[in-house]
Amino acid sequence: MGQLKLINILREIKKKISYINPNFEFEWPEAKRYPDFKNMGIKGWIEKASSGYTVKYSEIKDVLGNVDLEFDSLDKNKKSRFQSAFKSEKIEMPIVVKFSETDYDLVAGNTRLSGLVNNGIDPTVWVVDIS
């Protein structure tokens, strides 16, 4: 195990982050940017997304698109919400869509993902597999 990975695991244990399942209905406006999800409609999206699974960001980061890790440049209100959630140690998982083994895209939760990474944590993300 690499030293950086061990440091990140220790930070996460120390911080005791509890991950909350995504609110798929709330994230529908983000999801419907993708034709596959838009064609399913909100009910189909919620059903498909609910059958997803979790992975660590580090496992897919090299094939994950649509990510902005420049936390300081992100929306002030979203950063404030993240910081409150981070203090409470309860974070809703970002949502990722899997198109193939080499093609993932961040659907929702960029500020959460960026905030966690910038705090030295390897976030858990929710994957909706449409491969």
Average pLDDT, integer, range 29-33? 97
Looking at the predicted structure, is the pLDDT value of residue 3 above 80?
Answer: no
pLDDT in tens, 46-103: 999 999 999 999 999 999 999 999 999 999 999 999 999 999 999 999 999 999 999 9
Give the pLDDT score at 14: 59
Residue 5 has pLDDT above 70, yes or no: no
Average pLDDT of the residues in 38-47: 98
* CA distances (Å), origin 113, targets 1, 40, 43, 95, 125: 23, 26, 26, 10, 8
